[in-house]
Each structure stands twice: as structure tokens, then as C-alpha cells.
Amino acid sequence: MTTEDDSSTSVQTSTTNLIFDETDILYEEDCLRNQYSVKAWLRYIDHIKEGPNEKINLVYERALRELPGSYKLWSNYLKLRRKQVRSKCIIDPIYEEVNNTFERSLVFMHKMPRIWLDYCQCLMDQCKITRTRRVFDRAIRALPITQHNRIWSLYIKFVTSYPEIPDTAMRVYKRYLKLQPECAEEYIDYLKEIGHLDECAKLYVDILNRDNFTSRQGKSNHQLWNELCELVSKNPTKIKSVQVEPILRQGILKYKDQVGQLWTSLADYYIRSGCFEKARDIFEEAVESVLTVRDFTQVFDAYAQSEEGLISALMNKSNEDDEEITEDDDLELELRLARLEYLMDRRPLMLNSVLLRQNPHNVNEWLKRIKLYGEQYDKIIQTFTKAVQTIDPKICTGKLQDLWIAFAQFYDKYQQPDEARYIYDKAIKVNFRNVDDLAAVWCAWCEMELEHEKPDEAIKLMERATILPRHKVDYYDTNEAVQLRLHKSLKLWSFYVDLEECYGTFQTCKSVYDRILDLRIATPQIIINYALYLEENKYYEDAFRVYEKGLALFKWPNVYDIWLTYLCKFVARYSDGSKLERARDLFEQCLEHCPAKFAKNLYLLYAKLEEQHGLDRRALKIYERATNAVEPKEKEEMFNIYIKRCGEMQGITATREIYEKAIESLEDERAVRDMCLRYADLERKLGEIDRGRAIYSHCSQMCDPRIHNDFWQTWKEFEIKHGNEDTMREMLRIKRSVQATYNVQVNYMAAQMMVASIGEDTSATQAN
């Protein structure tokens, strides 16, 4: 007889003395008639649910004997049996009866995961570790794979709840990960908890090598790499199966935004392993290879901190030892201090190297590097050479010509002019981005020759630089080399001209200016400089011809300075008025197309010429033309000058027409009011009281009494002195009329603003 049969027999034996009452007879008869009906047995069980456990168990056993394949009966029976033993001690024999009942149920219910789970939970409650594990294994073998996940969750909970059996838990976890590989992070957490860090590192490597791995905890590959790095770097003695350095180097190549931390972790691994020299080599390699300032700062700070830590440890060791400090200990301490000092001294150069690795075509960083070397001659030469060999002129950042010039000036500083000339000769062959960059190199070369008191060599260099190419070249054609376009560089020609003026002859300097004009690259300032140079050398007519050439090259407004200088010099040259007609022609030619912005000074100069050497009538005519030609904001000043000059030449009575024209043509009300007041005061002085009153009346229409009270006060004083009661009454009537007009305008504007605000409020309400 089997254990299961023993369990059933024990139930029957324990219930032989049970007494059934009369109400049970109906249910007994129903079960006898319908012995294969689950409902009949459940009705019977429900009827006796308040009875003794033995009686209920007996009915369940009888029902299951007739219906062994009923999941509902088995499930209810097993729940009942577990409930019956809940308050018992786990070593009570009745627990074994329950276990036997589970075993009997599994003969028929072995495909039901709920039965397996309840059985396993029951065994877990009894702390039967080996038996529980075997039942879990049987469940996994019995159930289809689609239902394994229900078993594994409880299985994992079971094996991880016993720290005493870590090997068993690890084996179970490995089996589980074959079915659920995405749950690797749970296994990692468990391995960290039990201290199996070697296995943990292997699992980290495995999941990081999987391209399709997705973290269930929402971690990115970066975070997993960081966790792995922290794990291996802080526990070098516990991790043996994983090659730490290749893994971290692979991460350095793969994750560019974590380079600094990965390098630091690798060095930390060797520090914790006691390999301090290897850690130092790693730090040195890191600072020479990182590409960002952030990574460099992270690595350098860790490097310096490690050196300081070693020094502190050595000093503490010396202080703790009772023995005297030996000479070797002193030497080691001094060596480490020297290393730290050397490291801190190299920091600016290391940082500069990082920036140059980011952009090797950054001219400014190369120049900074040269400054950092101070007076180290060989290092500076090497840096200059490497810089000019590395930088691409077309994509460089900064001014490449400054680098070449600094290179040559460095040799010149150490009294090596021939080497400097060699560098300049190399520099002028570089295809710079802009023509002016190449011109700057030529100019710097010439300045060096001048410093060595060789002006002839400097002039020869300029002649060489300005040689015309064999074919015509467009200055703005970037497809052509800058050397072919150099002959049109204004910067170069300006330097050439200054050089000739200082060290050349009149003819050579004049020749250079003429070549500039022939190339049509002159500016108004160069035209003026050329003319002034000729004037200094008493070539006045040649100077005037240069002005004429300049006027032919440019248009307004660029010719303003040329015209102004030309006219001033011409008038000053013939200050006796001998060339008056020629001067008039020049002025008329100048003013023919002159914009209003530049007309004022030219008209004043023209009028002054006529006043000095011509006729007053022509001068006044020019002033009159000026009032129409200048800008509106300059008209008032021009009219004032016109009135003043006319009064001096023809008397104040002749200015009436000018006042009237000014009042009519001026656009600014303030200017018109001032002109009216002056005009009225003039008429008062001349005794023309009625004319003055008429002017006040005309001006009153633009004078709001609330704002321009000074005007009305002036008119009132005028009437008090020169008027009577009627004229005073008329003045007050006009004042009331003007005030009423302005009140209407103000009310109209206020009404318009109110309507506009009401319209905006209505639109906002509709929108809401």
C-alpha cells in the first residue's frame, strides 16, 4: 500500500466513529443517485461545512474517489486541508498527511500550475528545503513551458530566502535566465547581496555584449557600464574571471561621453590592486588621449588626488613607525613630492593639448602653447614647426598669418634674421584664406627689414609682392590662389606707398600711386593722400588732376571728401580770385548731383567764395539755392545764415521776403513759430505795427494757449505797447477761437481712442 493510500485510509479510520444526523440522509441519497455529479457532492459539503473536520474530509475523499479528475474538488479540498493545519506545529504528523494529499492530487492534476504552487508554498511553510526544491523541479518538468513563469517567480523567492544555500540559488537562477534572460539584473542584485562579485561581473559583461538586451529597470547601457566599472575597480581582489582592462578599454572606445570616468575607473582598479606605477601609466595615457575638457578635468583631478594620497600614506607611515626615518624614505617622499609638483606644472600644457586634439587647426591655441613654453627654445621651435605643418589654411580657426609672423619674429628675437627670412619666404607661399592675410605676412617681412635698417630690401620686397600676374585675375574669385590676387590688395599698396614716401624718391612714390589708380583699387583717402603728397612737392596742377581722376572713379556719397578737399585746396591755391570762373565751374559741377545730406558745407564754401571774390548778388543767390537743397532739419539754420548775410549786404528790409519764404517752407512748427516771432519783432523795430500784428495773427493758429503761453504773452505785451482796446479784444477773441479749435481736436482724439478700446474689449470677450 502506497503513502497516498495510507493518507486516505487514515482519514477513513479516523472517521469510523462519526455520527451522521437525519438531515444528512437526503444529501447521502442524492450523492448515491448522482455519484458522478460535482454539484451534488459540493451541496453535501456545503451542508456539513460547520461539522467536524474528519466528517468533511471523509466526504471529500468519497467524492474524489468517484471524481478523481475534478479540479474544483481537489482545489477546495487542498485549501481546506492547509487551513486545518495552519495553527499546527510544522513537525506535527498531520502535515505529512497534507503532503500525501497533495501527492495524490498531482496524479490527476499534474498539469495544473495552481496545485503545484500551493504544494510548493505548503512545503516552504514547513521549511523542507530539499523536498521543496525537488517539487519545484517536478513542477517545471510536468508543466508546459508557457506556464513556467508562474512557477519560477515562487521558485526564485524560495531559493533566495535562504542565504545558507547560495550555490543552489545561483544554479536555479542560471536555469531561470535561460527562460527569462531579461531578468539578469535581478540576478545581479542577488549576487551583489551574497558577495559573489566575480559571477556578477561575468553577468555584467554578458548583458553588455548583447545587442538586444533591454533593461527592465530602465537603465541605459551607460549606466550598466558605470556599474560594471565601479564594481571591478573597487573589488580587484574578488574578481578573477573577467579581464578588467580590455573591458574598460572597450568601453572607452564605445562610449565617448563616459571616457573620463572609464579611464578613472581603470586607474582606480590598479590602485586598489597595489599596482601604483601601472595606475600612473594609465593616468598619463588618459590625459594624453581625452578629447574634452570635462574628461580631462575628471582624469587630472583623480590623478592628482592619487598622488596626494600616496604622499599622505607615506607621511602617515613615517609618523606611525617608532623607528627613525631612513634616508631611503626621505628620498622616496621627495620623489613623490617632485612628481606631484611636476604634474601640476604640466597642467596648462596638458589642457592645451586637449583643445588641440579637439581642433588641431586652432591657431590661437597653438600660440597659447608657445607662450606656455616660456624660454624653452627647442620646444618652441618644435611647436612652431608642428603647427605650420598641421594647420589647414582653409579651415583654420584664428589668424594663420599671426602664427607665421610669430614664428619669424621668434628667430629675429634670437638674432637669426636669415632663419626669419626663410620662414617668411615659406609663409608667402601658403594659400591663405584671404588676400589680406598674405599681405600681412609681406608687410611684417618688410617691417623686419626696416628694423634691421634695410629699407632698400623692404622696397624690393614690395616690388616683388606687387608683380602683376600673367593673366587677368578677379580679386574676388576665391578659386584663384591668393598669391595671384595679391597685386590688388589695398593693404599691401598702402604699406608700399608709406614706404616710398619715407624712403623712396618722388618719382618712385608717384609711380606707386599711379599704379594704384591704374588698378582701380584706390579709396577716396588714397586719392586725397596722393594729391596732398603732390601739393607738398609743389605739383599743384598734378594734384588737381589726381582729384579729377578720383572724382571719375567714385560716385556720391564717396566723393564728398574728395570734392571738399579739392575745392578747399583750389580756393586756397587761387586765393586772389584769378581762377574764379574755373572755381565756379567746379562748384556747379559738384552741386549738380550732390545729395541734400552733404550740400550745406559745399554751399557755404561756394557762397564764401562769391563774397570774397565775386558779387554779393551771386552770393545771396547761392544762399537761396542752399535753403532749397539742404535737408529739412538744416533748413532753419540755413535760413538764419541767409537772413544774417542778406541783412549785412542789403539791409534788414531786404530780409522780409526771406522771412516769408522761411515761414512758408519750414516744416517744423517750432521753427516756424520762432521765425514768425523774429519777423514780427523786425516789423515792430521798423515801425510797421500792422504788419507785425498780422504776423502774430498768422502764427497764432499753431500756438495752443495751454502749451505755448509765452507766444500769447509776447503778443499781449505787443498790444499793450502798440495797440488799443479794440486790438486787445481782437487778440483775446483769436485766442479763444484757437483754444476752442484745439479742444475740439482733443475731444475728437479722445472719442476715437475710446471707440478703439471698446472694440478691443468686445473682440476679447468674443474670443473668450
The one-letter amino acid code at 600 reads K
Average pLDDT over residues 63-69: 82
Residue 17 has pLDDT above 70, yes or no: no
Residue 695 has pLDDT above 80, yes or no: no
Residue that has been written with the C-alpha cell 604699406 in this structure: 495
CA pair distance 415, 402, nearest whole angstrom: 20
Please return the burial class of 123, using the count of CB atoms within 10 Å of its CB with bins 0-12, 13-18 and 19+: buried
Q: Please, are residues 684 and 722 in contact by the beta-carbon 8 Å criterion?
A: yes
Would you state the pLDDT for residue 19?
56
Can you give the residue ranges of every domain in the chain? Answer: 695-768
pLDDT digits (tens, 9 = 90+) for 354-365: 888 888 888 888
Quickly state the pLDDT bin for 134 (edges 50, 70, 90): very high
Residue 18 has pLDDT above 70, yes or no: no
Would you state the pLDDT for residue 12?
47
Average pLDDT over residues 436-451: 89
| Pairwise pLDDT comparison (743 vs 103), residue with the higher score | 103
What are the two backbone dihedrals, phi and then psi, of residue 590, each rounded to the nearest 5 degrees? -70, -45
Q: Which residues contact 264 (CB under 8 A, 6 or more apart)?
A: 286, 298, 299, 302
Q: Please, are residues 399 and 363 in contact by the beta-carbon 8 Å criterion?
A: yes
- Between the alpha carbon of residue 63 and those of residues 56, 75, 115, the distances in Å are 11, 13, 18
Would you state the pLDDT for residue 744?
59
Average pLDDT over residues 161-176: 85
Would you state the pLDDT for residue 105?
84
Q: Establish whether the linkage from the previous residue to 705 is cis, with ω within 30° of 0.
A: no
Residue that has been written with the C-alpha cell 466528517 in this structure: 55
pLDDT digits (tens, 9 = 90+) for 82-118: 888 887 787 888 878 888 888 888 888 888 889 888 8
Average pLDDT over residues 724-735: 75
CB atoms within 10 A of CB 163: 9
Q: Please, are residues 132 and 161 in contact by the beta-carbon 8 Å criterion?
A: no
Average pLDDT over residues 412-430: 88
Share of residues in the chain with pLDDT > 90 (%): 0
Sign of the torsion formed by the C-alpha atoms of 80, 82, 86 and 92: positive
Would you state the pLDDT for residue 760?
56
pLDDT digits (tens, 9 = 90+) for 306-317: 877 777 777 776
pLDDT digits (tens, 9 = 90+) for 245-279: 887 787 788 777 778 888 888 888 888 877 888 88
pLDDT digits (tens, 9 = 90+) for 215-246: 878 888 778 877 887 787 778 778 777 777 88
Would you state the pLDDT for residue 4?
43
Would you state the pLDDT for residue 22?
66
Q: What is the mean pLDDT of the chain?
A: 80
Of 65-69, 97-101, 514-518, 701-705, least confident by mean pLDDT is 701-705
Would you state the pLDDT for residue 461?
87
Average pLDDT over residues 701-722: 75
pTM of the model: 0.67
| Pairwise pLDDT comparison (44 vs 343), residue with the higher score | 343
pLDDT digits (tens, 9 = 90+) for 120-132: 888 888 888 889 8
